[in-house]
Structure 1
Amino acid sequence: MSSSMYRRQHQLKVKQAMDSQKKAADLRTKEATKRQDTNRAQTAAQKTNSPATRKSRMNDASRALTAADKYGKDASELEKKAARYGSEAADLQVKIAKAEQAEADQAERQRKRQEQQRKTDDLRRAREAEAERHRIHDRLSSTEAKADDALRKLAAPKPEKLRVLMLGASPEGDLRVGREQAKIRRAVERALHREQIQLDVRTAATTDDLLDGIARFRPHVVHFSGHGQDQLIGFEADLDEHHVGVVVTIDSFASACAATDTPPVLVVLNACETTTAADRLVARFAPLAIGMAGEIDDTDAITYATGLYASIANGHSVNSAHMAGKAAVELAGGEYELPCLVAAGDVDPTAVKLVKGPGKDAPA
């Protein structure tokens, strides 16, 4: 309930308390008057020698006393009501304070969301300007550069399962990459086209896991969960104890992913501050890439990834799956603006479906 509604209730209770107190005071005045009448009638009865007059005065005293008792009883009831209304008003005052604090907190959260949205919009506009510069450069580039760009285009679909290489790295043990991988697996297992997806899950992933996964598994999708910063991501070393990990540049990561006859169609960097890295992956080889526009909460990252792969496994386009992941974060009250989808200039993410029903073309 809002503070304004509590405030209206408080005003009503205060008015009811004041009205009850006023009525009780009026009745106390009447009670006092009747008790005075009682005393006068009793005194008059004691002074008279006439039996008839004494009886009449005693009757007057009895009626006055009865009226005084009634006024007193009614006044007591009104005083109790006034006290109850006062107590309820005090309780409402506490609720008003709490509601005002909650509204202030909500306003602050809204301000932060708007500020984050502004930063995201600025970043998006900067990426669009950069993409426009790339498009102009592409139009002016040499025939050899155009040929290289043609090699990056999506190959014709083949009838095979979607292969997803999942790499999780948390050398210091501060990220729940295992939970993220488990939730993605469960989401895929519940999906409409679950038989059309094959997962290769590498927990505590090293650079050797990356190279081995690319060479032997030949994934259509590479999903990295861990720490990132601008154009750096962190893998684990082959150690049992907690450690700082192995820092990898996004260019070396791109080189590893592209070292195959069939490079991945989509690369997901579920790590903080990786939109620049996603842009770089698309510039190097990937038709589609996803990164985070800031520091994303671990829970939001897990929620987004789960929604993304659930939608992909249900046969939706990459763009729709991306929007589904963001919607899941928004419904959970998280920072849904952070995940960003980047596409090559010749690729429409709304038309790219990585999973299709049995008997239909599967992904490239």
Structure 2
Amino acid sequence: MSSIEKKKIEKLLKMGSGYVLDFSNRTFQEFIIETTDIDIYDNKYSYSSGSKANRLRAFWDQEPDHIVGKVILYLLKYWKMQNMEATKVEQALYDECSKISARLMQTMIQEDASLEKAGSILEKVHTISILLLSADPTNAFKLRIGEEFREIQEKLQLAKWRDKFILDQKMSVRPTDISQALLDIQPHIVHFSGHGAASGALCFENRVGEIHPISPDALAALFEQFTGQVNCVLLNSCYSKLQAIAIAEHIDYVIGMNQAIGDNAAIAFAIGFYQALGAGRAIEEAYKLGLAQIRLHGIPEHLTPVLIHKEKNPVQKFV
């Protein structure tokens, strides 16, 4: 890592006074062992005062980039769990640190012969970036977006292939935020949670936090610019099938809703979908498990989500 990158991570992890977040010596040692099977209290990491922060600095200098990236990723996840209401400045720093982690982890060429499905998305990339976008305008009824995103985060953290996923979240999204996030984060999967109109428009937010509708044609034109990058778009909002059809002209897999969908069904679908992805399943299988999860919750809305293919191709095309 460069010195600038290290300073960014140290700032987010509050390492200035020798600590690393709120870890004690014991919990920090256990955390690193669980993440990497490496004992950070080995003498070779006893740099200067031997504080937690200095041990982590020594670890960065001595271990391969992909292991350092993995440790940073898990520290970021831990930070995120403690800072669900992060400020914009904190979120921006978190986003920058996530990119550093992703870059370090991509230096390792992994050969996972144990992957269960030939069509699994996990065969194609070393890390999978998921961008969660949400909008909950003040002049519309409130959605349970926070609960949905917590469930997604939890299911991926518990997943078999959790090391392969990087999760980024953008709240109260305005039109210009969408393109900026796609450019900065370069996600493979884009998930939108919010309101949808019967006309097919998705409801984002304007400068005062009220509804700003975006038509299917407009959003499709945006995703056309990211054809080689984004593999799947999930529109977890009412009446989003029209958007899905338009976007699917450019993106391989798009999921939309063919009518209004309730909060409970939307959350249940997200749970099943990301549980499946975290287990290494393909997009089509994840979609079906999302439908099954709705039924398991006893909600009669399992016919609402629809999967639309750009092509009839069962093999994912992640780069």
TM-score if structure 1 supplies the norm length? 0.50
Does 1:183 pair with 2:151?
yes
Structure 1 residue 263 displacement after superposition? 3.3
Aligned amino acid, residue 133 of structure 2? L
Which runs of 4 or more aligned residues in structure 1 lie more than 6 Å from their structure 2 counterparts after TM superposition? none
- Judge conservation of contact 1:166–1:200 (CA < 8 Å) in 2: yes
**Counterpart pick for 2:229 among 251, 256, 263:** 263
- Judge conservation of contact 2:204–2:214 (CA < 8 Å) in 1: yes
Structure 1 residue 281 displacement after superposition? 1.0
What is aligned with 1:316?
Answer: 281
**Counterpart pick for 2:211 among 245, 263, 267:** 245
What is aligned with 1:279?
Answer: 245
Secondary structure in 2 matching 1:315: coil
What is aligned with 2:296?
Answer: 331
The separation in 1 between residues aligned to 2:237 and 2:298, in whole angstroms, is: 19
Distance 1:330 1:159, change over 3 A: closer
Does 1:233 pair with 2:202?
yes
Larger fraction in helix: 1
Task: Please tell me the root mean square deviation across aligned C-alpha atoms, in Å.
Answer: 2.0
- Judge conservation of contact 2:179–2:222 (CA < 8 Å) in 1: yes
What is aligned with 1:23?
Answer: none
Secondary structure in 2 matching 1:273: coil
What is aligned with 1:223?
Answer: 191
The separation in 1 between residues aligned to 2:263 and 2:246, in whole angstroms, is: 24
The separation in 2 between residues aligned to 1:190 and 1:206, in whole angstroms, is: 31
The separation in 1 between residues aligned to 2:210 and 2:154, in whole angstroms, is: 30
Larger Rg: 1
The separation in 2 between residues aligned to 1:274 and 1:159, in whole angstroms, is: 28
Structure 1 residue 261 displacement after superposition? 6.9
Give the share of equivalent positions with the same residue, in percent.
27
Secondary structure in 1 matching 2:167: strand
Structure 1 residue 210 displacement after superposition? 0.7
**Counterpart pick for 1:164 among 130, 134, 140:** 130
Task: Kindly provide the CA deviation profile for residues 109-129 of structure 1, in whole angstroms up to 9, marking residues without a partner as x.
Answer: xxxxxxxxxxxxxxxxxxxxx
The separation in 2 between residues aligned to 1:246 and 1:178, in whole angstroms, is: 20
Secondary structure in 2 matching 1:267: strand
The separation in 1 between residues aligned to 2:246 and 2:177, in whole angstroms, is: 22
Structure 1 residue 158 displacement after superposition? 5.0
- Judge conservation of contact 1:178–1:203 (CA < 8 Å) in 2: no
Secondary structure in 1 matching 2:242: helix
The separation in 2 between residues aligned to 1:203 and 1:287, in whole angstroms, is: 25
What is aligned with 1:343?
Answer: 309
Secondary structure in 1 matching 2:129: strand
- Number of residue equivalences: 194
TM-score if structure 2 supplies the norm length? 0.57
